[in-house]
Amino acid sequence: MARKKSFAIIGINNFGQAIVDTLIQKKQHIMVFDIDQAKINNMVASYEQVDGVALDTTIKANLIEQGMEQYDTVIVTMATNIEASILTIISLQDIGVVNIIAKAKDSRHTRILKALGITNIVQPDVMAGHMTASKALFDVDIEIQTVDENYASVSIIVTEPSIEGQSLLDLRLINNKDYNIVHVKRKGRIILPADVDTLKLGDELLVISKINAINDLVIKLQTTDNEKDGK
């Protein structure tokens, strides 16, 4: 299980709530901030594990008062108001917050965030577009968990009989320039892969892959519908 960390989420919206839902499942400590007291009240009432404070995060003194620099990660989810997003991030940087994840409204907002030195940037519309296109293209049993501009974290269940018993090294799934296995899940047990490990049908692989290499990876690991039908 992941180490319990502390997260500050700035901005309550659908994106922020989705983050809260996920972090709660992982039993992490969460604090939410928003300028709207009603949103804070609703969030705190909805989740026992969440605390919240209403404040203007563009004001540096408010961030200092809340000890914002002590959180492991600060996630800035507000993007509709680009000015508020930028001022908040500058203030966070000024007080020494190191690990900042920011939501971007569009490519212009993304460029500004990069200019500020933010490397963890999420543009949900672009991410959703990549995920939808990939699922439509592959039309197989894969779960694309996260996507950025170049890479995806993909969960794939092994269904191709011909690779059973072959090692990860033989299958070129270790130290491959296009993708690498993070772990293998077998009958509920997590296995950290070594090059001599072999695959079995039903293994679930978590793989970091270049987006343009996912199709090759799926073809290697899964039996297609045509093959199942004997076509």
List, in order, residues 6 or more apart from 29 with CB less than 8 Å away. 4, 5, 6, 7, 49
Which residues constitute the domain of residue 47?
A: 6-122
In whole angstroms, give the CA distance from residue 157 to residue 199. 11
- Residue 104 CB contacts under 8 Å (≥ 6 apart), including other chains: 79, 110, 113, 121, 122, 123
* Residue after which a domain boundary falls, among 104, 122, 140: 122
Is the domain of 164 the same as that of 220? yes
Q: Work out the angle between the directed axes of helices 82-94 and 107-115 (0-180°, nearest 10).
A: 20
Domain boundary among 89, 122, 155: 122
Q: Which two tokens stand for residue 39?
A: 């949103």
pLDDT tens digits for the chain (231 residues)?
A: 446 789 999 999 988 998 898 888 878 889 999 999 999 999 999 998 899 999 999 999 999 999 999 999 999 999 889 999 999 999 999 999 999 999 999 989 999 999 999 988 888 777 777 667 766 766 555 677 665 567 778 888 999 999 999 999 998 888 788 888 888 999 888 888 888 899 999 999 988 888 778 888 888 898 755 444 444
Q: Mark whether 116 and 178 lie in a shared domain.
A: no
State how far the Cα of 206 lies from the Cα of 87, in Å rounded to an integer. Answer: 37
pTM, 2 dp: 0.65
Among residues 59, 201, 211, which one has the least CA distance to residue 131? 211
Q: Please state the domain count of the chain.
A: 2
